[in-house]
């Protein structure tokens, strides 16, 4: 139905944005493998990977002159 299409479109928008982030981390930053002993080291690895993604994205936003929140 038309209502289902509208709902699916909204879900797809969110899913696309989230999957793009994970895809970039996996392909460009080789972040799909986390070899760490202990939760603290694994958490640090994930945190630094996310920080690096945010820095890359910030640079891209500034370079392309896209509107940002800041």
Does residue 70 lie within any of the structural domains? no
Number of domains in the chain: 1
- Residue 6: pLDDT above 90? yes
pLDDT digits (tens, 9 = 90+) for 8-54: 999 999 999 889 888 888 888 776 677 888 999 989 988 998 999 99
Which domain range does residue 24 map to? 2-64
What's the pLDDT score for residue 39? 92
For residue 66, what are its two tokens? Answer: 């896209």
As a 3-state breakdown, the chain gives helix, strand, coil percent values, each rounded to 5, of: 75, 0, 25
Does residue 27 lie within any of the structural domains? yes
- Residue 69: pLDDT above 70? no
Phi, psi of 38 (to 5 degrees): 100, 150
- Residue that the structure tokens 């392909």 belong to: 27
For residue 24, what are its two tokens? Answer: 């970039």
What's the pLDDT score for residue 36? 84
């Amino acid at each position: 139905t038309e209502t289902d299409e509208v709902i699916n479109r909204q879900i797809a928008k969110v899913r696309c944005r989230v999957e793009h982030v994970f895809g970039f981390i996996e392909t460009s930053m080789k972040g799909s493998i986390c070899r760490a002993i202990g939760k603290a080291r694994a958490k640090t690895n994930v945190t630094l990977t996310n920080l690096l993604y945010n820095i890359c994205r910030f640079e891209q936003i500034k370079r392309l002159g896209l509107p940002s929140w800041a």
